[in-house]
């Protein structure tokens, strides 16, 4: 995927200096999708400053992140949705965890459910992209659930295969401002149609670098956690 970027990209060394870690550690973070790296040249990478900013909020905090399946299960349970892909013992442990955690910790542990890529896309092709995604965050009518203004930006989930089709068919340009599509690429997604459950949308917003979106996401997660504790 060619890069034509107007957003800030960092080299491996610049990222290491900013985070105060070794370049080897940056490689590990990139491979774990903790930070977003874009391939350039023969085996090279540039790292998005926005993903480094998000990671800085979590660096050094306790708790091993969940796998994608467990992260989605936690957020689906919190939304009152079924989780047939996990067994009863895992479901029981997740329920016990949700009774005691808070929104910040939950956001941190669920962060590896997908990797986030940002694109510019023509307005005329936004609908085509949306048709192959499961919408999330505050996209379209979802914005009202978080008392946010609909910005006409598109955010949602897709499998790696669907993401490749979307970016090619909609002629999207990665990391070009203004960002109009935030695509969360998942190696695994629960079956389903329509927008993602409310807790997934809230977790997406809670990861945002925008203070208003982040606050709205965290507040909604706290409300869902309180409701979850009362109903079990």
Question: Residues 139-148: what's their mean pLDDT?
Answer: 94
pLDDT of 1 strictly over 80: no
Q: Is 3 helix (H, G, I), strand (E, B) or coil?
A: coil
Mean pLDDT of the chain: 91
Question: Residues 107-124: what's their mean pLDDT?
Answer: 94
Question: Residues 10-30: what's their mean pLDDT?
Answer: 91
User: How far apart (Å, rounded) are the C-alpha atoms in residues 197 and 135?
Assistant: 10
User: How far apart (Å, rounded) are the C-alpha atoms in residues 45 and 28?
Assistant: 13
Confidence of residue 4 (pLDDT cuts 50, 70, 90): very low
Contacts for 23 with CB less than 8 Å, ≥ 6 apart: 12, 13, 16
Report which of 122, 120, 119, 139 is spatially closest to residue 202, judged by C-alpha positions.
139
pLDDT digits (tens, 9 = 90+) for 72-106: 999 999 999 999 999 999 999 999 999 999 999 99
The predicted structure's pLDDT at residue 35: 86
Burial of 125 (0-12, 13-18, 19+ CB in 10 A): middle
DSSP state of 222: H
Report which of 114, 98, 11, 19 is spatially closest to residue 58, judged by C-alpha positions.
19
User: How far apart (Å, rounded) are the C-alpha atoms in residues 218 and 43?
Assistant: 38
pLDDT digits (tens, 9 = 90+) for 165-218: 999 999 999 988 899 999 999 999 999 999 999 999 999 999 999 999 999 999
Q: CA distances (Å), 143 to each of 120, 182, 193, in order?
A: 20, 15, 19
pLDDT of 44 strictly over 90: no
Burial of 126 (0-12, 13-18, 19+ CB in 10 A): middle
Confidence of residue 26 (pLDDT cuts 50, 70, 90): very high
What is the H or E stretch that residue 155 is in?
strand 154-159
The predicted structure's pLDDT at residue 43: 77
The predicted structure's pLDDT at residue 133: 97
Report which of 172, 135, 134, 176 is spatially closest to residue 152, judged by C-alpha positions.
135
The predicted structure's pLDDT at residue 3: 44
Which tokens belong to 33? 């999708």
Compare 213 and 35 and report the one with higher pLDDT. 213
The predicted structure's pLDDT at residue 7: 58
Please name every residue paired with 9 in a beta bridge, in sequence order, or none if there are none: 48
Question: Residues 113-141: what's their mean pLDDT?
Answer: 95
Taking the whole predicted model, whether its pTM rises above 0.85 is answered as yes
């Amino acid at each position: 995927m060619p890069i034509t970027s107007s957003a800030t990209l960092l080299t491996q060394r610049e990222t290491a200096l900013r985070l105060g870690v070794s370049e080897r550690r940056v490689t590990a973070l990139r491979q774990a999708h903790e930070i977003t790296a874009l391939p350039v040249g023969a085996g090279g990478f540039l790292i998005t400053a926005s993903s480094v900013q998000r990671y800085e909020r979590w660096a050094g905090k306790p708790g091993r992140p969940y796998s994608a399946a467990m992260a989605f299960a936690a957020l689906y349970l919190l939304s009152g949705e079924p989780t047939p892909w996990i067994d009863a013992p895992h479901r029981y442990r997740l329920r016990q965890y949700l009774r005691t955690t808070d929104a910040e910790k939950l956001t941190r542990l669920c962060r590896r459910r997908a990797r986030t890529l940002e694109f510019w896309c023509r307005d005329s092709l936004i609908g085509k992209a949306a048709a192959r995604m499961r919408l999330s965050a505050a996209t379209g009518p979802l914005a009202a659930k978080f008392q946010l203004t609909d910005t006409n930006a598109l955010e949602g989930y897709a499998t790696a295969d669907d993401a490749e089709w979307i970016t090619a068919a909609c002629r999207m340009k990665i990391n070009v401002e203004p960002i109009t599509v935030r695509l969360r690429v998942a190696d695994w997604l629960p079956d389903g149609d329509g927008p993602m459950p409310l807790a997934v949308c809230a977790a997406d917003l809670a990861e945002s670098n925008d203070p208003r979106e982040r606050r709205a996401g965290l507040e909604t997660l706290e409300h869902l956690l309180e409701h979850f504790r009362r109903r079990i």
